[in-house]
Every structure is written in C-alpha cells, then in structure tokens.
Amino acid sequence: MKKGPSFSSPYASLTIRLMETRIYNLHMNRYVPWTVEPWHVRVSLRSAGVVLRSESIVLPETPIMGPDPSTNHKVFALNILVNGRDKANVLMRINLTHKNYKNDPPEEIPYYEKPIQALLPEQEQLVNQLVAAQQAQQALASP
C-alpha cells in the first residue's frame, strides 16, 4: 500500500493547496525605490486574509527591485513554509501603485485579464506550471 506525502499537520496539505490556487497582489510604490522583502509579502498576504510570519517566507535568490515599469503586473514565485516544514509555491503579482490610487490612470485591459508573464526568466517554467495547475483546478471546479 502506497502512502502519500506526509505533512506536518492534518491541515497543512489543505493550506498549501489553497495558497497555490491563486495569484496574490503585491502593491509596490510607483515612485520610491524599493527591494521586495519578506515583510512586503507578509503585509500583502495579510490583506488577502493569509496571516503568517516573515520567517516563513522564502524569496527568490534574485533580488526584485523597482520601481521599474517593466515589472508592473508581472508574476514571480516564492515559497511559504507551512508549519516551518511544508513548502507551498505561491505566485505574487507586482502592481505598481500611487500613494493615492485614484491618481493612477485607468488601464484599457484590467491586469487580471492580461496574459501572465514571469518576472524572473529563471522562474518562467515554474510560473507557467503553477498557472496551468490553477487553470486545471478551476476547470474542474466549474460546472
């Protein structure tokens, strides 16, 4: 009898599956220089209802810096350690915003309807795999 992977808790697999089924927005300043740090991700995930510690966030080795208009709406992958042991691949989309978001010009096509592009070339295959898995899961869920 084959056993599946073992997780650190009964809910770890569900938590991982839920975190891997969407793309989270990472709002960054359009004008002030920045480098993505774990606390940026923690705050963005908290606004989406995901509460975790900064120590649980494993960023890509390549630093992500801005503001660079070419990074806007691009996606990168990072790892979240659930219970300090189980790894979830999470997608984050950079959205360059103004302090007063009402000053942002309207876009012709909303960012969530645009094709998904990987921010980091070394992550292109991983991002495409995760997006394909998300789309397959959504297709199964819809009637």
Q: How many domains does the chain have?
A: 1
129, part of any domain: yes
Beta-carbon neighbour count of residue 91 at 10 Å? 23
Buried b (16+ CB within 10 A) or exposed e, 11-32: ebbebbeebbeebbbbebebee
What's the helix, strand, coil split of the chain in %, to 5?
A: 35, 25, 40
**Residue 133 maps to which CATH number?**
3.10.430.100
Range of the domain at 66: 12-100+115-141
pLDDT of residue 73: 93
pLDDT of residue 105: 73
Alpha-carbon Rg for the chain, nearest whole angstrom, is: 16
At 89-113, the pLDDT tens digits run 999 999 998 877 777 777 888 888 8
Is the pTM higher than 0.75? The answer reads: yes
109, part of any domain: no
Q: Name the residue among 12, 21, 5 with its Cα closest to residue 89.
A: 21
pLDDT of residue 125: 94
CA neighbours within 13 Å on the CB side: how many for 29? 7
At 39-77, the pLDDT tens digits run 999 999 999 999 999 999 999 999 999 999 999 999 999
